[in-house]
Structure 1
Amino acid sequence: MNDPVLNAMTVDVEDFFHVSAFESIIDPSQWQEYQPRVDANTRRLLDLFAKHNVKSTFFVLGWVAERYPELISEIHRQGHEIASHGYAHRRATRQSRDEFFNDVKRSKDHLENLLGERITGYRAPSFSIGYDNEWAFEVLAELDFGYSSSTYPVKHDLYGTPDWPRFAYKRKEGIIEIPIPTLKLLGKQTPIGGGGYFRLYPYPLNKFLISRYLKKEQQPYSFYFHPWEIDAEQPRLSHAPLKSRLRHYVNLDKTYGKLERLLTDFSWGTMRDVYNIPSK
């Protein structure tokens, strides 16, 4: 039986060759050399969500939206929320303010022109808004976003703002920031928001951590993952660093089954619905 609390289901719509873990071996100029798999994988997710009557927020990479406009339109047609994941999956910490503005604007403009409605949500690649680039929130406000989900209050080699707020809050720039969930265990903030941690942990542990978060914090939970995480048949990049390969390929063959259990055990909706974000 589903938990009565409505939680936010989110999907970062990108392909396996876009991920930050492989940025040291794959330059964006090489993306066209890889056979895209994001269309088929995302449509498989749409079927899974329809089966369980779940609505989700899809943070769409602009690169994907330009190449698969029919996919984005279908996501929207099925009643899911479309949000921006930027254009080229370049971490915000590696961009100047002008570069960031142009990257995000390109994605937002394309999505709005495609769908004919305002895009209110944004998520930075690899949760890359932090201590050194808080100006990114000013850019998001300037571009008329209503909310962001771009921070993860943990310590990590690619991201992390461990002493920033853990729950949704309105920033001085006017943007609502919705951090990725953490659970305090033994005095430390444990990452429980999805992605590689969801694949790594056995499902009963994931369910326990989410349930404890909901009971302890009395806050809605948000979950994130990527279409490539249900694709065990994707090409293996043997020349990638060992740590990157371990992170990317762990338990890909188990993710779909775990997701199905997750959709059954908890109640899910879009970011806009869960956090009462105005659409206009």
Structure 2
Amino acid sequence: MSILNALSFDIEDWFQVENLKGAIAPDQWDACDLRVVQNSRKILSLLEKNGTKATFFVLGWIAEKCPGLVKEIAEQGHEIASHGYGHELVYKQTPKMFHNDISRSKAILESITGRQVLGYRAPSFSITPETPWALDILKDLDFVYDSSIFPTSFHDRYGFNGSSRFPFRFENGLIEMPLSTVKVRKANVPIAGGGYFRLYPYSLFRYCCKRLNRDGKSVVFYLHPWELDPEQPRVNIRYQYRFRHYVNLGKTEKRLARLLADFRFGPIGDVALQYFPELKHGGLNA
């Protein structure tokens, strides 16, 4: 049987993205066009057609506004996990602020689904070497795994160079499911999804994923609902951020359909069980 890869979606709306924060502040979010429901349903439709389940890291702010969407995702058999509440970078928060943010998000999601939330992903993968305290807070709040670490130094906003490229356990027992990279000489080149998935030619992206699978390693893939929405409002931001946010939005949905046909995917929790089968007794597969 082919390798099971981890499929995940960070459920936030177009106006909550870090690249747009200079133009749209959080106190303006209520006035923005809410498009996350229709875009998430595009994803759900593709998953249903392919008989594939995934992990949805839901922003607490979105869950409060759209509890029906969270229920819909959960009722279709997907894993609900936390993306925090307010989409604030971890290294811009104090430990107390971070604790309050993720505990608030966890409580909201668990009240909607009636199930324990076991996984977390930081906005913009912002658990870095500057924030080791965040890992203990996650453990204290009964998270079983984190999927925030990007073991690369290619990005100006995130990266955990020197971290393992593959799933591992921290000293406090928390499981880490890092975002995927491929080794090119001494560099870890990101291939986990998002802007990389939209920017790279699909043939190159598929080759890199197959390379990991040939080595017996699972791909940890991510995408956002707004990345399937070429008709979203356009915001005047600096060129670098504009390119990152808008490049190839019109191609994402078809590329995702191809990816689902080319590889075997499942929720992050299921992939974590392959690496850490003892988690089965901790309720990860419940």
- When normalised by structure 1's length, the TM-score is 0.97
Gaps of 5+ in 2: 274-278
Q: Counterpart of 1:65 in 2: which secondary structure?
A: helix
- Kept in 2: contact 1:59–1:85 (CA 8 A): yes
1:188 aligns with 2:187: yes
**CA distance in 2: counterparts of 1:33 and 1:241, whole angstroms:** 22
- 1:43 Cα offset (Å): 1.0
Please report how far the alpha carbon of residue 23 of structure 1 lies from its aligned counterpart in structure 2 after TM superposition: 1.5
Aligned residue in 2 for 1:79: 77
Question: Given that residues 126 and 148 in structure 2 are in contact (C-alpha distance below 8 angstroms), is that contact kept between their aligned partners in structure 1?
Answer: yes
Aligned to 2:87: 89
* Percent of matched pairs sharing the same residue: 46
Using the TM superposition, give the Cα deviation of residue 165 of structure 1 relative to its aligned residue in structure 2, in angstroms.
1.1
Q: Counterparts of 2:150 and 2:130 in 1: how far apart (Å)?
A: 14
Alignment of 1:86-125 (within 5 A): 86-125=84-123
Whole-Å separation in 2 of the counterparts to 1:145 and 1:105: 10
> 1:198 maps to what in 2?
197
Q: Given that residues 272 and 279 in structure 1 are in contact (C-alpha distance below 8 angstroms), is that contact kept between their aligned partners in structure 2?
A: no
Structure 1 residue aligned with 2:240: 243
Q: What is the identity, as a one-letter code, of the residue corresponding to 1:10?
A: S
Q: CA deviation at 1:214?
A: 1.5
Size of the aligned set, in residue pairs, is 276
The offset of 1:187, in angstroms, is 2.2
The one-letter amino acid of 1:48's match is L
Give the superposed CA RMSD: 1.0
**C-alpha deviations, 1:176-225, integer Å up to 9, x for none?**
01110110013211101000000001111110011012213x21111000
Specify the code of the residue in structure 1 equivalent to 2:112.
L
Q: Work out the CA distance in 2 between the residues paired with 1:201 and 1:130.
A: 25
Deviations 1:138-196 (A, max 9, x none): 00011000000011011110000111111111111221011101100132111010000
Task: Give the counterpart of 1:254 among 239, 248, 251.
Answer: 251
Partner residue of 1:126?
A: 124
Contiguous gaps of at least 5 residues in structure 1 = none
Secondary structure at 1:189's aligned position in 2?
Answer: strand
Q: 1:117: Cα distance to partner? A: 1.1
Contact 2:23 2:235 in 1 (8 A): no
Task: State the 4+ residue runs in structure 1 displaced beyond 2 angstroms.
Answer: 277-280
- Other-structure match for 2:265: 268
Give 1:141's aligned residue.
139
